[in-house]
Structure 1
Amino acid sequence: MKTKTYAYVVTAFSAAIIAVLAQISIPLPLGVPITGQTLAIGLIVTILGTKYGTLSVLLYILLGAAGLPVFSQFSGGLGILVGPTGGYIIGFLVQAFLMGLYMDKLGTTYAHAIIANLFGMVITLAFGTTWLKIVADLSWTAAFMGGVAPFILVGVLKAVAAAWLGIMVRNRLETARLLPSLS
């Protein structure tokens, strides 16, 4: 199974996982919900690495931008990307790329996966909060209180879970000789 077709099928399947976990959503004020997207992205990048992890996130964003209801609460379209949550969604792409680079360079161990996932959380929150401040015309304090504070504890929990599950799945895929073809 060392074909490009296999890698692209895994990439598409991974984008679908992000779309499914995006529907796990807890609405909060300012229109930025707690979702399963960051868990999915951390998990997928930990498993697939930079190239296919980032491609999965890019595919997810493109599907949503095209209008498919893959974003949180079964939403989609360019309006979501320019709305209050758009910065978080664009941040997912940067998160995936930088997390993957970190683990590619320093190794995909539990410790590095946790650090990469925490780093990824910070990246997404920075992009999202900056965009939220601009779109909603908020002060930095209000943007922080609505766009960062509610996500810190749950973000840390999701980062640790994504790292732990990701390393476990990655190790099993490597043992089954299913992962090396994705490199």
Structure 2
Amino acid sequence: MDSSQSRLRMLILTALCTAIICILAQITIPLPLVPITGQTLAIGIVATILGSKYGTLASLLYLILGAVGIPVFSGFSGGLGVIVGPTGGFIFGFIPTAFIIGYYLEKTSFTVINAIIANIIGMLVTLTIGTVYLKIVANLTWTAAFLGGFAPFIIVGVVKGVLAAWLGIVVRNRLNSANLLYA
């Protein structure tokens, strides 16, 4: 298969993974300040499957779809209002998170253990960026921002990181076996 066909397959897979992010984003557990959503789980799965380049692209496409008003963010929301609102930093954080997860795996190896490490690092990146943004946009103290945007999500983030790692590696291995992954 030539490189243009490989690239086309990867772009199609990236689009499908973007759709997975959009779907999993609708799984929401509401909390007062920032809800627990399936978005971070999806970002971890996608970055583990696709690696840094295409995982970042899928995350960026997700952000663009939501920014133009397509209701892909949690709770079937969309538009610039969501991005500039208190939870916007978490959404922006998905882009470096996807890159870091994929890059870590590319520099080590695509194993479950490395994927767990990469996804936990990624969850911390998302939480950090989101918390800093929350502090600024909501005009909170650092303590209030940490208690509202970081602390309640650490345990859930680790659980999602482990789940994303395992699912991502399983799917990646199956795609590799079927000669469908060219990342």
**Both structures adopt the same fold (TM-score exceeding 0.5):** yes
| Identity level (%) | 63
Shift of 1:5: 2.3
The question of 1:23 aligning with 2:26 is answered yes
Measure the CA separation in 2 of the matches of 1:4 and 1:48.
Answer: 12
Measure the CA separation in 2 of the matches of 1:61 and 1:150.
Answer: 24
Question: Which residue of 1 is the match for residue 164 of structure 2?
Answer: 162
Gaps of 5+ in 2: none
Question: Which residue of 2 is the match for residue 82 of structure 1?
Answer: 84
State TM-score, norm by structure 1.
0.95
The question of 1:14 aligning with 2:17 is answered yes
Q: CA RMSD for the aligned pairs?
A: 1.0
The question of 1:4 aligning with 2:7 is answered yes
- Residues 114-133 of structure 1 aligned to structure 2 (within 5 Å): 114-133=116-135
Gaps of 5+ in 1: none
Which of 95, 110, 113 in structure 1 is aligned with 2:112? 110
Runs of 4 or more, structure 1, over 4 Å off, are none
Shift of 1:50: 0.8
Preserved contact between residue 26 and residue 37 of structure 2 (Cα < 8 Å)? yes
Measure the CA separation in 2 of the matches of 1:176 and 1:92.
Answer: 28
Question: Which residue of 2 is the match for residue 68 of structure 1?
Answer: 70
Post-superposition Cα deviations, 1:36-70, rounded to whole Å, max 9, x if no partner, equal 00110100111111111111000000000011000
The question of 1:173 aligning with 2:175 is answered yes
Shift of 1:12: 1.0
State TM-score, norm by structure 2.
0.95
